[in-house]
Amino acid sequence: MHGGSSGIGTMAIQLAARAGARVFTTAGTAAKLDVCRELGAEVGVNYRDEDFVERVREATDGRGVDVVLDNMGGKYLGRNVDALAVGGRLVIIGMQGGTKAELDIAKLLGKRASVHATTLRSRPATGRGGKAEIVAAVRHDVWPDVERGVIRPIVDRRLPMSRAAEAHRVVEASEHIGKVLLLPED
């Protein structure tokens, strides 16, 4: 998984570890990787000075990983396929690294791998696969663990709406771990 120290990443690490997965993640600093390990990541890769595909191969004896959760999109497409095991799945949930890339279909076929893309934005509010169905599943499958403190949202900081520009700067500079919350003025 990429972006392990992001709001989505910190939650995904906890959920995957709770499900028994061996979690690998990338982040840009040692401190962020430490938090990822505390949350359940087994292997942390500093993307600024390490090759995540190489680390995956080392940690899996060359097998690769079964699932890559990708928030980068185009920039990492080829490398994500390289990191997959035979029968692996690349799940794209973001486009921080662009929307276009070239895909080596022969490599994908050779691994019998698949690429999935999903987002909440384009889903209907109701009906099969809609937002209401997802909320109901989270309420049933995740929320009890949140209430017990087994899974916890990671909040880096809370800022009033009047400081929205600062919040955007913090996120754009990747100076946070977890979510940056904007709150109504007191």
Residue 98 lies in a domain: yes
Its domain, for residue 129, covers 120-151
What is the distance between the alpha carbons of residues 94 and 78, in angstroms, rounded to a whole number?
Answer: 15
Burial bucket for residue 142 (CB in 10 Å: 0-12, 13-18, 19+): middle
What is the distance between the alpha carbons of residues 18 and 40, in angstroms, rounded to a whole number?
Answer: 8
Tell me the average pLDDT of the chain: 96
Residue 95 lies in a domain: yes
pLDDT digits (tens, 9 = 90+) for 90-109: 999 999 999 999 999 999 99
Percent of the chain with pLDDT over 90: 99
Whole-model pTM: value is 0.93
Which of these, 68, 120, 71, lies nearest to 99 by C-alpha position? Answer: 71
pLDDT category, 181, cuts 50, 70, 90?
Answer: very high
- Residues 92 and 130 reside in one and the same domain: no
- Tokens 């060359």 correspond to 62
Residue 142 lies in a domain: yes
**DSSP type of residue 79:** H
CATH, residue 101: 3.40.50.720
pLDDT category, 186, cuts 50, 70, 90?
Answer: confident
- Residues 105 and 127 reside in one and the same domain: no
Residue 181 lies in a domain: no
Question: What's the number of domains the chain is made of?
Answer: 2
- Tokens 């990338």 correspond to 26
pLDDT digits (tens, 9 = 90+) for 114-170: 999 999 999 999 999 999 999 999 999 999 999 999 999 999 999 999 999 999 999
- Residues 127 and 86 reside in one and the same domain: no
> Is residue 6's pLDDT more than 90?
yes
- Residues 104 and 126 reside in one and the same domain: no
Residue 35 lies in a domain: no
Residue 135 lies in a domain: yes
- Residues 108 and 70 reside in one and the same domain: yes
pLDDT category, 19, cuts 50, 70, 90?
Answer: very high
Q: Hey, what's the torsion of the CAs at 50, 12, 130, 168, to 10 degrees?
A: -70
What is the distance between the alpha carbons of residues 91 and 97, in angstroms, rounded to a whole number?
Answer: 15
